[in-house]
Chains A and B, each alone.
Chain A
Amino acid sequence: MFVHLLHLGRVPYAEALEIQARVVAARKLNLIGDTLLLLEHPPVITLGRNASRSNVLATDEFLSGKGVELHAVNRGGDVTYHGPGQLVGYPILDLRGDLPGKRGPYLGPVDFVRLLEETLIRACANFGVMAKRIPKCTGVWTFGGGENADGARPEIREKKLAAIGVHVSQSVTSHGFALNVTTDLRDYDWIVPCGIRDRGVTSLEMEVDEGVEVSMERAVNATARNFGHVFGRQMVWCASIEQLLAPARETYRESQAL
């Protein structure tokens, strides 16, 4: 049991959507196996299915002046930001497959999200960064700290390390997660991430102890390693999207020839 692992590098959002769509289509037809796409985007703001435009704080003029695109996409969740230094993962999995925690004919999409969180929490732990879930706030968060005398509200609020938003169609997943590795966090000032106003965002780079090296390559490896561990699969690298889709294309050609 394996998952194709493909690192696409830095890809403009629209182009990545197109690549993702091709992989999803091939997966739906069962021409390829489960796949994890890992990539980065140039600065872009995306609005999920539940997004409120008021959570984008910057004006359109400002954003276009900065070359920041705005995309509405068919994933769950609110508004989010992607940019350089952020590891984006698009797991394209068939939830009907042999997956941990599957009870019925398919793995519950929300259970799938929990597994993604688990993957990222473990990846963060590999950098010595303790991370956790917060009920009702999907994503991966740092620990808060300190408490007021009345014990009501931690003085240091949890911060978000990774955002998650998933789409499922014909039991095949798309979209996925975005882990801040060395992201320039100032860009988050343009939005209210995920519509959550009372907690900030952070990155692995900001959270690690001194002397711990944080790089995209290490983050890619840690994410892939933990993804394989959590989902119980071997991670098999693929050199390019062409190589990944080659069997699919062959099948297509054969069907055209008939």
Chain B
Amino acid sequence: MPTDVVMPQMGESITEGTLTKWLKKVGDSVQRDEPLFEISTDKVDAEIPSPAAGTLQEIKVAEGATVQVNTVVCVLGEGTTGAASSETAAAPAADTVTPAAIDAPATKVTAPDAASAAAPAAGSGTDVLMPQMGESITEGTITKWLKKVGDTVQRDEPIFEISTDKVDAEIPSPVAGTLTDIKAAEGATVQVNTVVAVIGGAAGKPVGAAAAPTPPSVPAPQAKAPAAGVPAPASGERPRSSPLVRKIAKDNNIDLTQIAGSGSAGRITKNDILGHLPKPAGQAGSTPPATAKAAAPTPLPGELVPMTKMRSIIARRMVESKQTSPHVHTVFKVDMTRIVRLREKEKAKYEQKNGVKLTYMPFITRAAIMTLRKHPIVNGSVEGDAIRYNKNINIGIAVALEWGLIVPVIKQSEEKNFLGIARAIADVAERARGKKLAADEVSGGTFTLTNSGIFGEQFGTPIINQPQAAILGIGGLNKEAEVLTDKDGNDSIAIRSIQRFTLGFDHRIVDGADAGKFMSDFKAYLENWAEDIG
């Protein structure tokens, strides 16, 4: 009974493949699993093994032709042993292809053009890669396999442990399925992004059938040999490579044993061989890309080098805020004399009456709240391409403490009167110092106050707390000589209590005019303080 051999499915979104070469001709007898032809799709070059033993009776697709998946490409006649005859046509082909695809782990590396990696082509198998442990880390050591071949694994279930330097990490499975192949033994040190295991689909008919070549034994030694450019094929054998690579080698008369493979287990990738082609223009030989990568972390002279980078990483959050929202700052000078006098007059009996110290903060906070009510955009936040006008005014007040900067938030501050605000500020400040703030009290702010005057600064240019729209910087309160004009237009110089306030705002949603109006209202509220302070 003749067996139809079909174009196998190489990956989920792959609908066709190009038959690059026939390895057998009509009349040849083939063994089961013996390579019949080579195909190439998007990211994969693979030899396709025969699904059965027999004689190649008919070739239906010529070399170079691109055909749809599951198209019959040839027909096998019955051989001496009818072994495969029980199997149906399509199924065995698809089945046997799996191992072949797995056997071509060059997939990622061979990739001729980087772009859209249409579903890692390896049929039903998912490659498990050595993860990136850190920016300058190029390799990791597998200390322990927590699963063995044939074990079923859940997504995110730890499957092996690696260790680099001072880190010991369990690596979770990227998918659920059956561990069909382990490619790096315990103790092996492998490059980042090397395939260390393959996980087959849940139904996972494991490798068993065909893929004799790959199994666990292959792994470590070659992978370990770093990309240093040492020719990989230690054993005098034909180095591992894909049909495409062999074709390029043959066309260009290159001896593959002379090339160091950068792929999994020393496999020679397309890039490797392209690096050995005579080049018209002197593009510095694209020897294994891994080499370049490995070279990068070479310590520079001077031992503190990493710190600069670290600083920039840490600073990034602030820079990010500035990159996310174009910051604009506007500084207003506020005459606080009226409030200073009011406070001086009231503070003694205020504490007696209300049990809370009368500081400047509730005046400033209250003025900010009242002004925010008039200018809701300043209390807004950016969500994607939309502006959220927050219903509540949740005021964050930055407090510098021994163990760090903390920003407790007074929620729904618009519902509180002056005394309520004064109490709330005293309460959060005291609890912050007493280490008694709850975690949910430091989040959810819609607007932030920050005191930049504590070291005698005149004013600061504070950075917005994303995703808020603005932040109010409180400058130092000082006596200054001011020119005052009375209602008859006479000028005089007087000593006044002056404080500068900075509004830092997100220019994407707050216009300069909005900010100006906000600040002039804020200034007016403070300078003409009329509210009952309770």
Contact = CB atoms under 8 A, between A and B. Distances in A.
Interface of A: 1-2, 4-5, 33, 48-50, 74-77, 100-101, 103-104, 108-115, 118, 121, 132-136, 138-139, 164-171, 220-221, 224-230, 232, 234-237, 239
- Which of B167, B307, B406 is packed against the most chain A CB atoms within 10 Å? B167
Contacts of A166: 166-168
| Interface residue SS majority, chain A | mixed
16 contacts: A48-B168, A49-B143, A76-B167, A101-B135, A103-B135, A113-B166, A133-B304, A136-B165, A167-B169, A170-B170, A225-B401, A230-B314, A235-B406, A236-B442, A237-B435, A237-B437
B166 A228 contact: no
Given A108-B134, A110-B164, A111-B135, A170 B172 contact: yes
Contact of A133 (B307, B317, B435, B442): B307
A237 B435 CA distance: 5
Given A132-B304, A133-B303, A133-B307, A236 B170 contact: no
Interface in B371-406: 401-406
- Interface pairs A-B: 9 shortest CB-CB: A110-B134, A237-B435, A168-B169, A228-B404, A108-B134, A224-B403, A76-B168, A221-B402, A101-B313
Contacts of B407: 234
A76 B403 contact: no
Interface string B165-188: 111111010000000000000000
B134 A109 contact: yes
A228 B168 CA distance: 24
Interface residues of B, number: 42
Interface of B: 132-137, 143, 156, 158, 163-170, 172, 299, 303-304, 306-307, 310, 313-314, 316-317, 401-407, 435-439, 442-443
Contact of B436 (A109, A111, A237): A237
Contacts of A232: 314, 317
B401 to A, nearest CB: 8
Given A234-B407, A237-B436, 7 more contacts: A49-B163, A76-B163, A110-B165, A165-B166, A168-B170, A170-B170, A232-B317
B299 A121 contact: no
B380 to A, nearest CB: 20
Contacts of A4: 439
B306 A133 contact: yes
B300 to A, nearest CB: 10
B307 A121 contact: yes
Contacts of B143: 49
Contacts of A228: 403-405
Nearest to B431: A237
Contacts of B137: 108, 110
